[in-house]
Amino acid sequence: MSEYLSTSKKKVTAPAFFKMKQAGEKIAMLTAYDYTTASIIDAAGVDCILIGDSASNVMAGNENTIPISVEQMIYHARAVARAASHALILCDMPFGSYQVSREEGVRNAIKIMKESGVDALKLEGGIEIIETVKAIIDAGIPVCGHLGLTPQSVHKFGGYGLRAKEEAEAEKLIADAEALDKAGCFAIVLEKIPAVLAAKITENVNCATIGIGAGNGTDGQVLVYSDMLGMNRGFRPKFLRQYADLYTVMTDAVGCYINDVKTVSFPNESESY
């Protein structure tokens, strides 16, 4: 058995994130959107599986995360929750489900929790959504924040570039992280910001920080599973480490299958009844 495989099957909880931070144990998070993939990722021993709204891109082929609905997120989240026995299951609240009002945010948060069986929810934004974050936590739901590059605001930013390069945005990000921490978030995802800033925020807050394109000074890392497994040829940002080339593995396997069918070498006698 490879050494990274989990020996302990104890369920990871939101409070465990604080303990891992205090103990200096880095937190490994990956996305998943379906039962089969989540089963594999959970068996490998990852600490947290995120049903990201990146399902909009990865599963549905949309250009961004804007179109995915609460119902579609629940569909993916339910499949992942069924698969995972070890990892904390964290689900994104999709665009439009918490920005209108605090009441609507809490109602949608409760709906996702009741209908999907996930353990916690993630919302993008800082001080501007802090009352909603507090109300969701008050309802008994663990919340993970998400700052820096927040893809639901892609049209406001005008793209997916590095955030908080300038002093003013960095200061705002520090204030947002402190507000989320004070509100009781168990973690904050920091996406595509300078490594020095992410490390500073990590020192400033009690909750765990999880980086993506934010250097190694955070308390953990998250990647989109299909990117780190090399399932898509086009997406190669600097922050991405590709651990496999499944695009090649899968196209080669499918090519072999097509050839076997065409040449009538599949199925053979032992594969027939």
Q: Of 18-26, 45-53, 134-142, 247-255, which part binds ligand KIV (CB under 6 A)?
A: 45-53
Residue 79 CB, nearest distance to ligand KIV (Å)? 16
229 near ligand KIV, rule: CB under 6 A: no
**How far is 33 from 91, CA to CA, in rounded Å?**
10
Q: Is 53 annotated as a binding residue?
A: yes
Closer to ligand KIV by CB, 54 or 202: give it.
Answer: 54
Q: How far apart are CA 217 and CA 196, in angstroms?
A: 8
Binding of ligand KIV by 31 (CB under 6 A) = yes
How many residues interact with ligand KIV (rule CB under 6 A)? 11
- Considering only residues 170 to 189 of the shown chain, the ones binding ligand KIV according to CB under 6 A are 189
User: If binding is defined by CB under 6 A, does position 222 make contact with ligand KIV?
Assistant: yes
- The reply to whether 219 sits in an annotated binding site is no
Handedness of CA 90, 230, 190, 208 (dihedral sign): positive
Q: What angle do CA 76, 60, 255 make, to 5 degrees?
A: 105
50 or 113: whose CB is closer to ligand KIV? 50
**Parallel, antiparallel, or unpaired: how do β-strands 120-122 and 143-148 relate?**
parallel
CB of 206 to ligand KIV, least distance (A): 21
User: 3-state class of 55 per DSSP?
Assistant: helix
- The DSSP symbol for 50 reads E
Tell me how far CA of residue 76 lies from CA of 5, 114, 191, in angstroms: 25, 14, 22
Residue 54 binds to ligand KIV (criterion: CB under 6 A): yes
Strand pairing report for 48-51 and 220-223: unpaired
What's the CA dihedral at 249, 73, 198, 155 to 10 degrees? 100
Reply yes or no on whether 191 is catalytic.
yes
| 138 assigned binding-site residue | no
Q: Which listed range, 34-42, 52-60, 93-101, 237-245, lies at the site for ligand KIV (CB under 6 A)? A: 52-60
Q: Is 260 annotated as a binding residue?
A: no
Binder of ligand KIV out of 224, 228, 229, 231 (CB under 6 A):
224
**Active-site residue list:** 191
